[in-house]
């Protein structure tokens, strides 16, 4: 019985130490390091899109309408999933990785 108390105290100590370490690690991450990457936005933003075009591009890339629904007159065509019919015959496994 005494051994169980010792193990549980040691377990609590490890839990507290681990939580403290995780908290320190999370707080040390700078905001600049946690930048979201939206490939199409970064690729086409240099093409000097208008604000409306840039907004539509982001809505399309992030697929906002799937959860938030569409607004009157602001519908953006949803992205189409890739066609995977007979993908095993068309794709080279070395290039997929």
Percent of the chain scoring above 70 in pLDDT? 45
CA pair distance 57, 54, nearest whole angstrom: 5
Q: Read off the pLDDT band of 51 (50, 70, 90).
A: confident
| Residue ranges of domains in the chain | 38-68
CB-CB contact of 54 with 41 (8 Å): yes
Please state which of the ranges 34-38, 59-63, 87-91 shows the lowest mean pLDDT: 34-38
CB-CB contact of 61 with 38 (8 Å): yes
- Which two tokens mark 88? 């095993």
**Proportion of the chain in helix, strand, coil states, percent, rounded to 5:** 60, 0, 40
The reply to whether the predicted model has a pTM over 0.75 is no
Q: How many helices (H) and strands (E) does the chain have?
A: 6, 0
């Amino acid at each position: 019985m005494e051994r169980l108390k010792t193990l549980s105290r040691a377990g609590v100590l490890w839990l507290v130490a681990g939580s403290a370490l995780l908290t320190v690690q999370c707080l040390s991450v700078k905001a600049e390091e946690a930048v979201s990457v939206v490939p199409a936005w970064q690729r086409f933003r240099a093409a000097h899109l208008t604000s409306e075009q840039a907004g539509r591009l982001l809505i399309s890339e992030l697929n906002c309408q799937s959860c938030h629904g569409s607004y009157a007159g602001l519908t953006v065509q949803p992205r189409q999933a890739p066609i995977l019919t007979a993908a095993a015959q068309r794709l080279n496994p070395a290039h997929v990785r």
